[in-house]
Amino acid sequence: MTKELLQLRVNGESHTVAAEPHHTLLEVLREELQLTGTKHGCELGECGACTVLVDGVPVLSCLTLPAQLDDRAEVTTVEGLARAGEGAPGSDATMLHPLQTAFAEEGAAQCGYCTPGMLMAAKALLDTNPRPSRDEIAHAISGNLCRCTGYTAIYEAIEKAAQAR
């Protein structure tokens, strides 16, 4: 099939991408932009591994076609969470988002396959609700499946990040 040109804004940068029109946002991010942090999971809308933010709202990129997005839509992937060049003064180190730090400290990532999607769902939550209750956290990540952690460490990491912000 013939590729078509798409305009996409991802992690604050504009891209012109040649992609097959039936390819999902997940496929375009991973295969055309090499942003492989967003994970292929079920591709059926059931696991949340492919979660990215569109204008701050979590969406399942496996069920989203780039053509569905507004031209000015801002897509944020897990690669956009850490901010390059915002480490210690004078360094070009990357500063992790408080959620990434808390996930590492609390052991909330084991195999790590669910982690990018979890982080994006948690970011959307904290951006709109800086001090969520445990129930609100559970609700916010209810579409993100984790086979490893039993969720408690993930809840605790999100609470820790909320306190750190």
Chain residues in the site for ligand FES (CB under 6 A): 40-43, 45-50, 60, 62, 109-115, 146-149
Which C-beta is closer to ligand FES: that of 91 or that of 108?
108
Q: How far is the CB of 87 from ligand FES (least distance, A)?
A: 26
Query: Nearest 5°: CA angle at 77, between 92 and 141?
Result: 120
Which C-beta is closer to ligand FES: that of 12 or that of 45?
45
CA–CA distances in Å: residue 88 to residues 101, 104, 162: 15, 19, 22
Q: How far is the CB of 13 from ligand FES (least distance, A)?
A: 23
Residue partners of 120: CB distance under 8 A and separation at least 6: 51, 52, 53, 58, 76, 77, 78, 81
Q: How far is the CB of 49 from ligand FES (least distance, A)?
A: 5
Q: How far is the CB of 2 from ligand FES (least distance, A)?
A: 26
Which C-beta is closer to ligand FES: that of 33 or that of 60?
60
Which C-beta is closer to ligand FES: that of 50 or that of 157?
50
Which helix (H) or strand (E) segment is 58 a member of? strand 57-60
